[in-house]
Every structure is written in structure tokens, then in C-alpha cells.
Amino acid sequence: MNKNENVLPIGIFDSGVGGLSVLRAIREQLPIESVLYFADQIHVPYGQRSMEEICIFSEAITRFLLNLDAKLIVVACNTASAAALLFLRNTFPNISFVGMEPAVKPAAENTQTGVVGVLATPATFQGALYASVVERFAGNVTLLQDTCTGLVQQIERGDLNGSKTRTILESALNPMLERGIDTIVLGCTHYPFVIPIIQEIVGSGVRVIDPAPAIARQVTRLLDSSKNRANVPSFGSVQYFTSGEVTRFETLLPKLLGETGEAMKIFWGKNGICS
């Protein structure tokens, strides 16, 4: 690969297909950037795993993406950000990372009722990152949290609007509606793919915050400040990698992104990713 920094790709990873919601926003804002996307589907869901385990996976995936010349790493997973972002920044001090944190700040600034719902995985709620966001920004609001058990797996199966997916969301959202929420924060990158059902359940009066566009703006700022924006005359390429089943991943792409793509199978060995 050409070592000229202006054609180097952005590396993005998630436990599965959730980070595609972030990839979509990045490609909308930065269409000429090339992207490497890693879905660690053999280990999905991350949400019930230990912080240590998620750190091990995140470090190996970061090394894999850096070996392919990624110029910046987007941890497109709230769970991996909660467990490993600090660790990754310490382990790779010369690399720029962009991570996810639940968008409690804009929710708290704009809520009229003072009651905000947050949907995220158990690991995200348990992490220090969430505690710090709550402490810094949620002083005057009531946060209602739900882990939407099973929703990540439904989205991994491509079930975006079946009855089981709807039931999971109704059980999370109806009690929140009864308590007066006017804002929902999506604290898991899989969840933007079910925004249409969420909006149907909560109604148009409730604002649903997808953090992906803000993450794409942060990527743009970082590339600008380091003068690393691509300057090629064509659209960037996207390369997909999955540690799960290639055909399953490829079947999901049209459903989630509205386009086809090919993925490469990646194997985990005892000492990390085998390349």
C-alpha cells in the first residue's frame, strides 16, 4: 500500500455489524476516505463479557488494522470504548483513537421534561466512562436505563422489525414513556438500525439521538488537525473483515447499508488474530 498518509485508510471496529452505523456516517461526511471495517462476530455480543477480555480483543484488532496502515482508529462500539479506550490510548500513544460515549450531554441540554432514556449494554453501563458522563452532564435530569437484552443478537440476525425485536423494544420503552421521557440516547452502535421501530413506539414527540454523525464530525476534526485528510479525486474504498461467517455478514450489508460488499474471513488463534 502507498505510504502517503493522504491515501491511508481509517480503521473502524465493532463486535459485529453495529459499527456500520458509524461507518455510514463517516462515509457520508468523508466520501473520499478509504475505510477498513472489522466485525468481531465470533465474539459478539461484547456486552456481557469482562472488561479484560474486551481489552484483549480490542488490542488485537487495533494491531491488525494498524498493520494494514490505518491512520486513525474508530472504536465504533460503546462497549469496547467503555472497556478499552483508555487502555488502547495508553498502549498505542502515537495513534489517534475516536471512541463512543452515550450522548447524555446533548440529551441533558435539550430535554424539556428532564427525563431521558438510555439504551446500552450492561458493560457500557458498568464502565467508568458512563459514570463520568453521568456525573458531568446529568446532574439535573433523571436517566432511565435499559440494556435491551437480546437486541444486539436480533440485529446481528438482520431482524430489524420482527415481533421479537419489537417486543424487546416495547418492554424497554413503554415504562420509560410512562415516566415522561422526551429523549432517548442510543448508547450502542447496533441500535440506530432499529430507529424506525423505536420512533414508532415512542412517537414523534420523543427525540432519538444517534451519535454517529457527531462521531464522524470528530473524525473529520482529527484528520483536519493532523492534516491527514485524503486528497484523492475519487470515492474511497471499503474493505470488510469478519471473524464470523462471511456469507452472513455479506447478506446483512444490503439490509443495513443498502449496498453489497465482500468480506474477508479473519481467524483468531491462541495469541490473537492470525494473519
Binding site for ligand DGL (CB under 6 A): 14-15, 18, 44-47, 77-79, 121, 124, 152, 188-190
Question: In angstroms, rounded to a whole number, what is the distance separating the alpha carbons of residues 215 and 31?
Answer: 15
Q: What's the Rg (C-alpha) of the chain?
A: 18
Q: Does residue 188 have an active-site annotation? A: yes
Q: Does residue 274 have an active-site annotation? A: no
Running DSSP on this structure, what letter comes out for residue 42?
T
Pairing of strands 272-274, 267-269: antiparallel
Min dist CB 3 to ligand DGL, Å, is 32
Question: In angstroms, rounded to a whole number, what is the distance separating the alpha carbons of residues 140 and 128?
Answer: 20
Inter-residue contact 101 to 186 (CB < 8 Å):
no
Q: Which is nearer to ligand DGL, 79 or 182 (CB)?
A: 79
Grid coordinates in use for 253? 450489508
Running DSSP on this structure, what letter comes out for residue 236?
P
Q: Where is 152: in which H helix or E strand?
A: helix 151-156
Grid coordinates in use for 15? 463486535
Q: Is 231 helix (H, G, I), strand (E, B) or coil?
A: coil
Min dist CB 152 to ligand DGL, Å, is 5
Pairing of strands 263-265, 238-242: parallel
Min dist CB 211 to ligand DGL, Å, is 10
Question: In angstroms, rounded to a whole number, what is the distance separating the alpha carbons of residues 17 and 242?
Answer: 9
Q: Which is nearer to ligand DGL, 8 or 46 (CB)?
A: 46
Question: In angstroms, rounded to a whole number, what is the distance separating the alpha carbons of residues 84 and 103?
Answer: 18
Give me the catalytic one of 55, 77, 148, 274. 77
Amino acid in position 57: F
Pairing of strands 97-98, 72-75: parallel
Grid coordinates in use for 227? 492534516
Q: Which is nearer to ligand DGL, 177 or 208 (CB)?
A: 208
Q: Which residues are catalytic?
A: 77, 188
